[in-house]
Amino acid sequence: MSKLAAKDIHFYYGDFEALKGITMEMTAHTVTAFIGPSGCGKSTFLRLFNRMNDLVDGSRMTGLLSMDGEDIYARNIQVDELRKKVGMVFQRPNPFPKSIFENVAYGLRVNGVKDSGFIASRVEASLRAAALWDEVKDKLRQSAFSLSGGQQQRLCIARALAIEPSVVLMDEPASALDPISTAKIEELIFELKKDYTIVIVTHNMQQAARVSDKTAFFYLGELIEYDDTKKIFLNPRVEATQNYITGRFG
């Protein structure tokens, strides 16, 4: 069964229809990349999966969005519980103005975990999973702002992993980083897919080609094409996809 499923999703910012009937499914332990020009709705779509768009005033959604077969917009769903299962990494590193340790521990603490031994072990495991442990193990009490941009982004990934979500959403996680940091994040995504279902929005074609198993191309609020990454990049069905990938517009 598919991990995430969207059925005929329409999304409106006020009168503006940002998503026009999207239907797609994502399987567990895969990396799905959303590509498309700016304003095509890919980030909006991504943020529906952890209901981050609930914060936007005057927005409205129709359609069915489910995880593990459960409607995540159902009335009985608690949004904060959902977000514990669906982690998110943002476009720009956004660590809290706290120590490195406290950043990673934050998710556990807001979930009411008090056992400091458990918190310490989760922090270490998450930092290891985010390939950051060796760089920060001696300065866990230092401010997160003392890290470089790439390290901060991996810290944000570690922070998302600490509460053991099953899905990780990444909204252009490497767009604000230098090439070396980007390479590290990409490596990390490859590692993480063993344990997590990953959805990544990216502007970078090569990145989508490198890290993802499946790719979805969005254009003007519509899902134009969704297939195996290889197929999309080598032999797309739709001409618009072809044009975008080869850089004729976007």
Partner 1 sequence: MKKAFKRFLERCTEGLLLLSGGTTSLAILLIVLFLFREGASFFKSPNIESGYVLAVHPENPVNHLSPEQIKRIFDSEIVRWDEVGGPAMDIELFRFSDMVQYVPEERLGADFEHVPAVVDSIVMAHPGMIAFYPEQFVAPEQQLKVFPEATIRPEDYFLGHDWQPTAHPAPQFGVIPLVLGTLWVSLFAVIFSLPFGVAVAVYLAEIASERIRKVFKPLIELLAGIPSVVYGFFGLVVIVPLIQKGFNLPVGETGLAGSIVLAIMALPTIITVAEDSMRTIPRSMKEASLALGATHWQTVYRVIIPCSISGITAAIVLGIGRAIGETMAVLMVTGNAAIIPHSLLEPVRTIPATIAAELGEAPKGGTHYEALFLLGCILFVITLVVSITVEIISSKQKSNLT
Nearer to partner 1, 36 or 95 (CB): 95
Nearer to partner 1, 73 or 213 (CB): 73
| Nearer of residues 26 and 144 to partner 1, judged by Cβ | 144
What residues contact residue 118 under an 8 Å CB cut-off, 6+ apart? 108
Q: Which of 15, 80, 134, 138 binds partner 1 (CB under 8 A)?
A: 80
Interacting residue with partner 1 among 60, 109, 230, 248 (CB under 8 A): 109
Our CB check for partner 1 shows the closer of 90 and 190 to be 90
For 77, the token pair is 């769903």
In the bound state with partner 1, the residue whose beta carbon lies nearer, of 84 and 128, is: 84
Residue 124: partners with Cβ closer than 8 Å, 6 or more residues away: 133, 137
Taking the complex as a whole, the smallest distance from the CB of residue 46 to partner 1 amounts, in Å, to: 12
Query: How many CB atoms are located within 10 Å of the residue 208 CB?
Result: 25
d(CA 79, CA 86): 10
Smallest gap, in angstroms, from Cβ of residue 94 to partner 1? Answer: 4
> Is residue 106 close enough to count as binding partner 1 by CB under 8 A?
yes
Among 12, 13, 96, 190, contact with partner 1 (rule: CB under 8 A): 96
List the one residue out of 211, 223, 217, 208 whose CA is nearest residue 244. Answer: 217
Q: How far is CA 201 from CA 12, 105, 172, 198, in A?
A: 20, 26, 5, 10
Q: Is 92 in the site for partner 1 (CB under 8 A)?
A: yes
Is residue 143 within the footprint of partner 1 (CB under 8 A)?
yes
Query: Are the C-beta atoms of residues 166 and 197 closer than 8 Å to each other?
Result: yes
Which member of 20, 83, 203, 210 binds partner 1 (CB under 8 A)?
83
Tally Cβ neighbours within 10 Å of residue 78: 8
Residues 6+ apart with CB under 8 A from 131: 154, 184, 187, 188, 191
Q: Does 107 bind partner 1 (CB under 8 A)?
A: yes
Q: How far is the CB of 95 from partner 1 (least distance, A)?
A: 8
Chain positions contacting partner 1, by CB under 8 A: 50, 52, 55, 57, 80-81, 83-84, 87-88, 90, 92, 94-98, 106-107, 109-111, 143, 145, 156, 159-160, 163
